[in-house]
Chain A
Amino acid sequence: MNKPIQKWTTKIIFTLLLILGSATVNATYYPRAGWLYYNGQFYLASYMLWDSPGPWTSTEPGYEHDLHVHDPNFFTSQCTTFSNLPDSYDDCPTAGIFDPNGPVFSFGSFDAELITANNWYFGAWQFTSHGSAASSPFTLIGQENESRCPFGLESIWCMFSNNSQPLLFGLYMNWGGYPTWVPY
Chain B
Amino acid sequence: MWVEGLSGTHRTHEDLGSEKFIQEARIQTIIFLKNGLIAHRTHIKKMLDKHSKNELVENKQLLSQARSLLNLTQQFSNALQAASSDQPLIYGLELMGESHILEQVRTASKVSSSKTVGEITANNQEDNYESLKPAFYKSEFKDQSIQSASPEKIYELLHTANLTSRKGDS
> Which A residues fall within an 8 A CB radius of B?
35, 37, 39, 43, 45, 47, 49, 51, 78, 80-84, 86-88, 90, 92-93, 111, 114, 117-120, 122, 124, 126, 149-155, 181
Query: Which of B102-110, B125-133, B153-161 is the interface stretch?
Result: B125-133
What residues on A are CB-neighbors of B42 within 8 Å? 37, 181
Question: What per-residue 1/0 map shows which CB atoms of B96-138 lie under 8 Å from chain A?
Answer: 0000000000000000000001001100111001110100011
Given A45-B35, A45-B39, A111-B138: A120 touches B68 (CB 8 Å cut-off): yes
Contact A82 B32 (CB under 8 A): yes
A124–B68 Cα distance when bound, in Å, is 17
Contact of B61 among A90, A111, A118 (CB under 8 A): A118
Within 64-83 of B, Cβ neighbours of A (below 8 Å) are at 64-65, 68-69, 72, 75
- Contact A114 B138, CB 8 Å, known A78-B11, A119-B64, A124-B39: yes
Contacts A83-B7, A86-B140, A124-B39 given; does A49 touch B120 at CB 8 Å: no
Question: Taking CB as reference atom, which chain A residue is nearest B138?
Answer: A87
* Bound CA span A111–B72, Å: 20
Q: Are B130 and A152 in contact (CB under 8 A)?
A: yes
* A126–B28 CB distance below 8 A: yes
Q: How far is the CB of B36 from chain A (nearest CB, A)?
A: 6
Q: Which of A37, A49, A83, A154 has the most CB of B within 10 A?
A: A37
Q: In the assembly, what is the distance between CA of A45 and CA of B40, in Å?
A: 9
Residues of B with C-beta under 8 A to A149: 121
- Chain B's interface size range is 35 or more
Cα distance, A91 to B130, chains bound together (Å): 22
Find chain B residues with CB under 8 A from A92 CB.
9, 11
Q: How far is the CB of A129 from chain B (nearest CB, A)?
A: 12
CB pair A81–B124 under 8 Å, yes or no, is no
- A119–B62 Cα distance when bound, in Å, is 10
Distance A150 CA – B46 CA, assembled complex (angstroms): 44
Q: Do A84 and B6 contact each other (CB < 8 Å), given the known contacts A92-B11, A181-B42?
A: yes
CA of A152 to CA of B131, assembled, Å: 7
Pairwise interchain contact A45-B64, C-beta atoms closer than 8 A: no
CB of B168 closer than 8 Å to a CB of A: no
Min CB distance A4 to B, Å, is 38
Q: Can you pick out 23 interface pairs between chain A and chain B where the beta carbons lie within 8 Å of each other?
A: A35-B46, A39-B39, A43-B35, A45-B35, A78-B11, A80-B28, A82-B7, A84-B6, A84-B141, A87-B137, A87-B138, A90-B8, A92-B9, A114-B140, A117-B64, A118-B64, A118-B65, A119-B65, A120-B68, A150-B124, A151-B121, A151-B124, A181-B42
Residues of chain B within 8 A (CB-CB) of A118 are 61, 64-65, 68
